[in-house]
C-alpha cells in the first residue's frame, strides 16, 4: 500500500510539473534591510481569458496576471509582482510559472507567452 501511495504521489508531482515551468532567477544584488524585491513579467500574446499564475517552486502562491482590455493579437505588456523576502534563498528565487486557460487544464507557458522574467530591487533609500 505504501508503495502504491508513493507511486501516486510521484506521478502526481510529474503531472503537476508538466503544467508549469520552473525557473530560478538571481537577484541583481543581496537584499538589504528595507529593500523590496519585485518580479517583472513581460507577457506576449495570450488569448482572452488566459492568466499567468506565479508561485514559488514549493507552491506558495505569489500572484496572477490577468490582462484585460488588450486588443487581440497584441502583447499584454509588463507586470510586476512583489516577492516576499522569505521566499529568497542565497540571492535566488525559484518560481513556478503556469498558464491557466479558462475551461482547460493548466500548462506551462511558451517563451512567446511569457517573454521574460526579471527580478528588480527597490532600494530602501528611495
Quick check: 114 pLDDT over 70?
yes
Whole-angstrom distance, CA of residue 117 vs CA of residue 78: 10
Write down the residue that cell numbers 522574467 correspond to: 117
pTM for the full predicted model:
0.81
What three-state secondary structure class fits 59?
coil
pLDDT band at 2 (very low <50, low <70, confident <90, very high): low
Per the model's pLDDT, the better-predicted residue between 2 and 31 turns out to be: 31
User: If we measure between CA atoms, which residue out of 19, 4, 45 comes closest to residue 97?
Assistant: 19
d(CA 30, CA 44): 29
34: left (phi over 0), alpha (psi -120 to 50) or beta: left
What mean pLDDT, rounded, does the chain reach? 86
Query: Could you report the per-residue pLDDT of 50-103, keeping only the tens digit for each?
Result: 999 999 999 999 999 998 878 888 889 999 999 999 999 999 999 999 999 877
Amino acid at each position: 500500500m505504501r508503495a502504491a501511495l508513493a507511486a501516486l504521489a510521484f506521478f502526481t508531482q510529474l503531472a503537476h510539473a508538466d503544467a508549469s515551468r520552473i525557473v530560478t532567477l538571481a537577484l541583481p544584488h543581496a537584499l538589504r534591510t528595507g529593500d523590496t524585491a519585485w518580479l517583472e513579467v513581460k507577457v506576449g500574446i495570450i488569448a482572452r481569458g488566459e492568466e499567468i499564475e506565479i508561485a514559488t517552486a514549493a507552491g506558495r502562491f505569489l500572484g496572477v496576471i490577468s490582462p484585460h482590455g488588450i486588443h487581440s493579437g497584441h502583447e499584454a505588456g509588463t507586470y510586476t509582482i512583489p516577492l516576499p523576502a522569505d521566499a529568497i534563498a542565497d540571492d535566488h528565487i525559484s518560481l513556478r510559472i503556469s498558464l491557466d486557460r479558462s475551461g482547460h487544464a493548466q500548462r506551462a507557458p511558451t517563451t512567446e507567452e511569457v517573454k521574460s522574467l526579471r527580478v528588480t530591487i527597490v532600494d530602501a533609500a528611495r
